Structure formats: C-alpha cells, structure tokens
Structure 1
C-alpha cells in the first residue's frame, strides 16, 4: 500500500494529533447533524445520518486501497489536503442543506423532486464524510504505530467528540458547533502537514486553505440571521407548515433559539392569536379572542404555547375553563400535581388556578427547563415567569427529567392529579430514531407506573388529538383499560372517562381538530362526578366521548366514528381483543418492549412496511436499491 521509503521514515506524533482531531470532529458532526435533520425532516431520519457516515467512510476506504501510489508519493501531505477538503466541504454542505427549499413534504413540488430530496441530502453530507474517512483510512494504513494503538486514539477522539457535542450545542448553538467541528478538520490539516514536514515530504501550503475556511465560517455564522430575516426560518422546510404560518403571521417569527442534544426550541416574540394551533383546548369563546402569548416550536414542528397572564391566576377563567381543567373538575381540592412535559407552562397555570399546593414538573428538554426557571437568556421572561414559579399559594418544582424515570423515584400515592397535555413532540432518544420519548409515556407499563403514584381519589389525564376517525386517542383509551385489567380491576370501563373539545372552523371552511382528554381514576367514577363532567362539557361546547355511567347508548353529540369508544368500552375483554385482532389498523395497546405508540398501520407488504413511517422512507429505500445494484454491477 505504502512504499518502503515511507515506512522507514520516523513518524511524527503529529499523526496522532491529526487522527484525534478528525475523529473528534466527525463525531461532533454526527450528533449535531441529527438536530438539523430533525428540523428539516423528522427524527427517524437519524438512521440516515448513520448511513451517511458508513457510506462516506466505506467509500474512502476503497478509495485509499485502490490508489496506493497516489498516497505513498507525498505521505502525510495528502492526508493534510483531505483534512482541508473535509473542513470546507462540511460547512458548504450545511449551508446548502439549510438553504435549499426542497424537502419530501412540499406538496407544491413534483413527486419526482420530493423523492429526490433525501438522496440530495445524502450526497451533500457523504462528500465531507468521505474526505474525513480518507484521513482516517490513510492513517490506519500508513502509520508505523501498531494498529491497535491507532485504533485506540481514533476511539479516544470519537469519545471526546461525543462528550463535547452536547456542551457545544447548548453553549454556542448548532451553526457554531459545526464551525468548531470543521475547525477540527483544519487542525488535522495542520497536524498532518507537520508530520509531512518532519518526514521531509513537501508540506501543503496552508495559508490559502485557512483563508477559504475562514471565509466559509463567516458565511455560516452570518447565514442564520440572514435567513430568519428573509425567509422566517434558517432551515427551510415545509414540515408542519400549519405551525409555521401562525408563528410568522401572529408572532413575528423567532426571537430566541435554544439548542441542545434533545431538541432545538425556537421561541417567538409576544403576539396575539386566535389560531387553533395556539388556542386549542380553550373554550369556543376564548378561541375567538386574540390571546397574548408566545409560540414555541420544537425542532421546527411540534408546538407549545405560553400565555401572557395579567393579574391573579384565579381570575384567568380562560385557563381554568380549558380542556386541561377536566381532571380538576372531577376532584374536590388538589394538594399535589405532577405535570409531564410542561412546555410553555399551561399545565402549571391550570394547577395554580385550581389551588394545587405543590406542582412537580418533569421536563425532558433542558432549554424548556431553563425558560421555566428563569435561567435562560430570555428578553421577555418578566412577562411570563412570575406566574410560573413558586408563589405564596403554590410551590412549583421543575425537574430536568424524563417522566418515566422521574415516576420511579417518587413515593406511591403521592399525586392527586398527573397530567400530560399535548406533549407529543416526537423527540428522538439514544435508543434509536424510531423510539420516541413520548412512546414510553403511553405504554401499558407507563400507565401502570403513573397509577402507582396516584392517591386513591387521584386522576390520570393524558391528551391526544381528536382525530377522524379516532386513532391515537382511542389507543390511549384502550391502554387505560388494559393497564386496569392487568392490575386486577374488574369492570375497568367504570374507571375511565373521555372528554373532547369541538373542532374549529377555519376561514377556508376546513376543520381544525381539538384535543381529547382521557381520564382515569383508581376508584370507579361516581354518578355525581359523571354529572359534573357532563354539565361542564355542555357548558363549554365539549362532548363526553366515553361515559362509563351510561352503558345503554352512546353519549349524545359524538360523531358516528366515535361510537367505537362506547362499543369497545363495554365489550368483554375477549371480544375487545378479537376486535383489535381483526381491525384494519393497529389499535392494540403498546408495551415497553414494542413502544411504537404512533405507528398505527398494519404491515401487509413491503410498501406498507415503509409507509408505517412515511412515504419518503419508501422512496429512499428504492433509491438505495438502485444505487446498490449499480455499485455491484458497474465494477
């Protein structure tokens, strides 16, 4: 592979420095890139990032193997050159990825263009990973050090990059993190160049490369501000466009951005809006009012809201009358509430409105924790924070914790209300791009854990969209029944109530769905509680989708497709299981071993297997098959 003259040269320690720098850089990029992919497309494309790395590194290994004379002639100066290529091409790829207005979800584009968007992303980032792989492959091939020692330093660099990336994202943001990672490529260039000079090889002229690199870094750091000003968002995408429209129209776009390894959070300016994505769950009267507040976007898609309150909480009837007040309507007095995923803090406001003495908040995203506790650099925190923190009536404890884990640390029977309202951010975690944080909240075991924490009169409240026909909201209902029956409860239906808000008629005549709140009580609901929730629903134009105290007929006012609640709720367990087995969609409750709560389609063929995720994944699979066949046949 490498000529004998090169092998006999004394090897410089700069070789190790270059290897560590490039390995550390690529790991930082791999992690940070998942945040950019999540913003442009979705979290499950995390696997695409891994594919990019494997493809680029694999191609580089073949490239080095096929060109032994090319690398042997100038030894480490060749590796230095590829370190520079990597640094510059990485930042160019990032700019193009963020700026190019092509994505799989833009219905205005021809299907062929949408299908090609993912391969385009692949090509963009495979190029820099190829250049980085050349540096690593050549070092493994040409170094005089034992391969085990080279591999050790490669792993040390990668480990350092994995540890540094979350810190960098939190401290300097996504774009600066990429710039610093690219600087690792430039450090590799310098180190390999030093090694070349020490071995009497002709070193690369570094100054022009540093000049080009500096210019590209300036553009990368300038781009987000420019793009937000011109396009509204720095990462251009049509993903979840129905959130982005009111975000720009009613809230004047992004005011603050917070990056971390879990998700990016964009906080808008304060504005006024009656859009259903902002006022969902409120009463019809409140929805028709332009309510002041801020709009949060998590990874450019999932939203949460933060209402601006003036005066005492107990005077904010639009908060207390919201759908999230349902568990408190069913109780007489609340001591402790557990909030899962506080978002902008509406559940905290609701708990305070109903007089909760203590509120424990389990919030996964550290940026959200910082906003809710006042630690974030937030220019508008004085307009929101005083109503979210501890006051003379309520103690608020905000914990940076995943809710399932947090639940295991709490004593049994601690909470009167456990509430998770609209926390479906679809956030990816380390167990894999298709394992979503919220999935584990909604498994049978998750519900059982929350049941353990309830007082005998406690209420569990979990919410989902009121879809047509019922889907995830119906699965949540069935999960409650399964968890109760596993716990030995007879007539499990007597412990569950489902209430939903009305759709909003949009200006174009379309209907924007509201939310369903699925409520569970350890003790059977009483007739007095049932009448209380019915009266409350009628007062605010809501409907009770499942009433355990009215088995004779479906509740009035529900859609025909929603009668399935009544049918399944009063079935025997055996009849219900048979119905779920025969259903065209997968409605059965999920468990921790298979926690895919959001995947409803039943797999009947290859295409449907991919469509369980999304159609672009199927397109990507077809392109991958074609590319694989070409690579096999062409050589």
Structure 2
C-alpha cells in the first residue's frame, strides 16, 4: 500500500512538470513566445492557492486519506482536459492588445483557467504531506523524482500524436495516479476510472481536431494558407517545435533581389516553425538549373565575388536558400548550423527530392545545435560565414522579439565569429530595412565594437550595400583592398543597389537608385564608425541601438523610456510595437501579482485574523519560505542561462 501511495505521488508530479512544459509549447504556438514564461507563474499560483485552501478549510482533516487523494487526482486529470478545451475557445489575440483593452481580461481568464489543474495537483501533494508526515522524506523523494521524470517525458509526448495526443497522455498519467490511490476503494469508483481511461485511449487513437493547439490567425502559417491554391502538406513535431510544410503563392523568397531580374522565380515550398517564421525551400534539379540564375541578383551574392571557392559556414538557413547559393557559387565546402534537428531531418528525407537532394551532397556538413554553442565548440576556420535571412514575410514593425534573449547577436559572439575567419575571411549578413532604422544599425554597431575589441580598424573592414528592401553588410578580417572596390561598384551599378559604405566612399556615390529623402544609412554608418560621434548617437538616437552583450543579450529591445512619446508619434501613434520586452512583462507582472494576492495572500490574512496567536509565527514562516523561494528562482534562472 505504501508503494502504491508513493507511486501515485510520483505520477502526479510527473504529469505536473510535463503539463507545465507542454503549456510553454502551447503558448509559443498558439500566441507568441512572450506568454510561455507565464506558465511558471500560473503553476506556482495553482500550487499556492491549494496550500491556502487547505489552511482555511479544516474539514478535509476528517476525510479518509485515500478517498481524498483519489478524488483530487481524478479532478486534476479531468481539469487538464477541460481547461485546455476552454483555453482553445478564448478569442485572445496578442495583436489586438494595442487597441482592445478587453484582451487583458482574456489574459486574466488564461491565468484562472490554467491554474485550476495545478491547484488540484498541489492539493494532492500538500494533502499527502499533511496526512502522511511520517513518510515526508519518501513523499519528497517521489515528488522530486516524478518532477525530473516529467521533464524527460516532454521529450517524447509530442511524438505519437503531436498536439492532439499530448494533453491526453498527461491526463492519463493523472488518472493512473487516481487509480493507485483508489486501490482499496469500491469497485464502482475503480470502474469509473477504468471507463475514463478507455475514453482517453479512444480519443488518443482518433485524435479529434478539438485537441489541436489553436494558432493565432496573424501567424505566418494561417496567413500563407489563405492565399489562392494554398495547400498544407505535412506537420511534424518534436519536443522543441512544430514544423509545417506548405505550398502557397505567398512564398516568393529572394531577399532584396535586384529589380533588374525580370524572370520567374523557381517554385518554392514554405516551412514554418511553431506556425511562424515562414522560410522557403527552393525546388531545383542541379546547380546548373537555369532557374537558379536569380541567385546572382541577390545582394548577398556579392560575397562570392569577394572570395572565390570559399569554405563556407552558414548559420541557421532553415529552408536552405543560402546553402543553395553556396553550392551554386562553387563553395569548396559548406557547413550548416541549424538549431532544429527536425528541420534537418525533413530536408534530408521527406523534402530531399524537392530540394534537389542538397543536404546529401558530400561537401555539405550539418550540425544541429544552438548557433552560439556550435560556434564556441567549432575549431575550424572559414573563408565566408553567412548569417541567413529566412523570413519570407520580411521585417515587422511589431517588435515581437523584444523580450527574446539572443546570444548570437552580442559583441562577444561576433568577436568569436571573427576568430573563426581565415586571414582574409568575410562575414555576410543581410537584413530587411525596418524604418525608422534600428535593427540594421544596431547590428552594424555590434560588428564595429567586436572589430575594435579584436584590435581591428572597422572603417577599412566594412562594406555595406542597400537594395529596395534590404541592407547587406560584409565584414572582413583583413582590410578591404583597393582591388575589391571596382568589382563592388560594378556589382552595385549592374543591380541598381545603393552603396552605403566602403573604405574611401564619397557622399555623391550614395542614394542613387533606391532613393530616400536623406542618405540616412550612409550618415548613420559614418557616425557609428567615428568613436566620438558613436557615443553621441547611442545617447541621442530615438531607439536603443547600443550593442547587446552576453550580460544583456536583448538585441531586439529597441525602445527607450525617455523617448516614449517621440517614438509613439514616429510609429504612427500605435501602441503595438511597445508590447514587447519589459513593457509587456511589467503589464503581466502587475496582473499576476494581483491574482497571487487574491488567491494566496488574502486567504492567509483571513486565517491570521481568525487566530491572532499565529500572527508572529505566520510572519516568520512567510519570510522564511519566501526567501527560500526567491533563492530557488535565482538559482534556476542562473542555470537556465
């Protein structure tokens, strides 16, 4: 009996951690990654509320232990399914937050609904500890062992049925725990549990659509599928992503392609990750395929006229356009770093034919890892390192990445990349223009400071060109030679690209083809290349463009509180771009603090008023466990980093 009791605790804890991690995937897919971190606070909210409930209502002390645990774990299982179903019906839309204040109420509803399963999970664990204090060490052991197992389970629960199976599997674990707690109870109750298990097994086999994660209609996948003759081809899952392949007339990916190219692009398939970030997979038969001529009209192709038959490293190409370009321009070897192993698997298997068996070429080596990790471990040197621009729909002014840590776009990371270049090696990086300029300028500032950190003069090592919609930077380890410049000028003139910077550029050479009111990129580049003017620019510029570092890796956080009013005016009096980074976090923190006060602290205040003798003890207990919890979170965050 003791073993069944501890096994039930183990299953509840496993289900809870697996649910918590699966909900982070749910929010990343259904909305934006911003809301994934809410799951931790939601889980703590439910657990805390369960403790307050047990403290307030003493009637549970007279209830049979196994009866209480079997019912609480059963309710835990049922509320997992019920709250997920209800959350999928909530018409919350992140984009509407900027003009529809009612959307904040939907966030509150998410909090309240999703905290219910965690309430019953916490109720089960807390009640078990209170009623079996003689086994507290074994209960803690089973609880922690189950939690660790749950974090491992999330690696596999998405594989059998994807999103349609994961919630059922977690609910089934909770049902099993209820069955173990009810071992000595009536046949009728165990028959109820067996019937529910049978229903969940049938649902798992049938995988009904109502179990799917709802995707925001503003994400790239649903948008692309609304185009005429669009077709969804397949969906694959792993623990870290959902990858979809589709056909759509929306997919026309050739970033910054010269307006001098007047032919059709080859057919392209679309690839999305978590329903967003649409990337293109270009169909071709061989590198001699005439339809690949468009690659010569891309701004990024300038790199292959500056270095011949290079050894190339390509960072996160997703659909593989830059890999195809490297092959087309006769790279001697190509190494690909792609963080998602599922993307590489699809390109090698199901999509090998449409992508010309590109990833089966002997000269192509692939590494599945986070880019910064792979770069830190890489001991090789390369003639060309390419940062891929993969998003078909281009830059967005919404600033949705503001809270995202990016350890690839830091001074220390760029310094490491410079170390991986051969003596005459080159970095190529193309970005979409995002007026008013911010990410394009911040990237350049980061490269300039990385060059200076390595003791290199950036003025002689930077070339920049601009198309109608992109800007491309070419950063060289050694100074660009006078022999490089005529080819650069000819390439730009032939493709109607504008020169932004090269060593010795003159003001009359810029802003000739894709004309702006002012040569803003040329002017900003000159300011960044001057150490004195650079500091003034950092201080006075509308946006935060000072380079990110490993200690503050929020590259996409551009907004300054001191420039809030001016920025609001410049961005067309729209609040959506501000719903990022600390602005969004502050809003959600206030909301979660209010909910925590109502569900956790307020009941404890009521309890203290009932019995004033507990006031002093309660205060000590609150601060004691509060400090332990704070220390726990600090340690957890450090290990996350």
Who is 1:430 aligned against? none
* CA deviation after TM superposition for structure 1 residue 633, in Å: 5.9
Who is 1:36 aligned against? 26
Cα contact 2:352–2:359 (8 A) shared by 1: no
Name the SS of the counterpart of 1:497 in structure 2.
Answer: strand
Cα contact 2:164–2:211 (8 A) shared by 1: no
Corresponding residue to 1:482 among 449, 460, 464:
449
Output the TM-score relative to the length of structure 2: 0.83
Corresponding residue to 1:400 among 347, 350, 368:
368
Deviations 1:576-601 (A, max 9, x none): 11221222321011111111111011
Alignment partners' CA distance in 2, 1:479 and 1:279:
26
Who is 2:173 aligned against? 184
- For residues 421-436 of structure 1, what are the structure 2 equivalents within 5 Å? 421-422=388-389, 436=404
Alignment partners' CA distance in 2, 1:343 and 1:279:
14
Alignment partners' CA distance in 2, 1:167 and 1:63:
34
Q: Does 1:330 align with 2:306?
A: yes
Alignment partners' CA distance in 1, 2:188 and 2:128:
17
- For residues 456-495 of structure 1, what are the structure 2 equivalents within 5 Å? 456-490=423-457, 492-495=458-461
Alignment partners' CA distance in 1, 2:312 and 2:228:
32
- For residues 114-153 of structure 1, what are the structure 2 equivalents within 5 Å? 114-153=103-142
Change (3 A) 1:290 1:92: farther
Moved over 6 A (4+): 605-610
Who is 1:208 aligned against? 192
Corresponding residue to 1:355 among 322, 326, 330:
330
Deviations 1:554-612 (A, max 9, x none): 71235346524434435521221122122232101111111111101123599999744
Q: How well do the aligned residues superpose, as a CA RMSD in angstroms? A: 3.2
Who is 1:231 aligned against? none
Who is 1:591 aligned against? 549
Alignment partners' CA distance in 2, 1:96 and 1:543:
53
Corresponding residue to 1:317 among 293, 305, 310:
293
Alignment partners' CA distance in 2, 1:442 and 1:457:
22
Gapped runs of 5+ residues in structure 1?
1-10, 229-233, 426-432, 503-513
Name the SS of the counterpart of 1:168 in structure 2.
Answer: coil
Who is 2:14 aligned against? 24
Cα contact 1:86–1:132 (8 A) shared by 2: yes
- Farther-moved stretch of structure 1 (322-331 vs 614-623): 614-623
* CA deviation after TM superposition for structure 1 residue 209, in Å: 4.3
Name the SS of the counterpart of 2:357 in structure 1.
Answer: helix
Corresponding residue to 1:543 among 493, 498, 510:
498
- For residues 143-292 of structure 1, what are the structure 2 equivalents within 5 Å? 143-170=132-159, 172-194=161-183, 197=184, 205-212=189-196, 214-215=198-199, 225=209, 235-240=214-219, 244-249=222-227, 252-268=230-246, 270-271=247-248, 273=249, 278-284=253-259, 289=264, 291-292=266-267
Alignment partners' CA distance in 2, 1:38 and 1:541:
40
Alignment partners' CA distance in 2, 1:539 and 1:148:
75
Change (3 A) 1:540 1:14: same
Gapped runs of 5+ residues in structure 2?
393-400, 566-574, 607-641
Alignment partners' CA distance in 2, 1:381 and 1:226:
32
* CA deviation after TM superposition for structure 1 residue 290, in Å: 5.8
Deviations 1:401-433 (A, max 9, x none): 222222223335x211101112689xxxxxxx9
* CA deviation after TM superposition for structure 1 residue 481, in Å: 0.8
Cα contact 1:476–1:518 (8 A) shared by 2: no
Who is 2:489 aligned against? 534
Cα contact 2:236–2:244 (8 A) shared by 1: yes
Name the SS of the counterpart of 1:309 in structure 2.
Answer: coil
* CA deviation after TM superposition for structure 1 residue 450, in Å: 0.9
Who is 2:533 aligned against? 575
Name the SS of the counterpart of 1:351 in structure 2.
Answer: helix
The count of aligned residue pairs is 582
Who is 2:627 aligned against? none
- Farther-moved stretch of structure 1 (450-459 vs 205-214): 205-214
Who is 1:383 aligned against? 354
Who is 1:4 aligned against? none
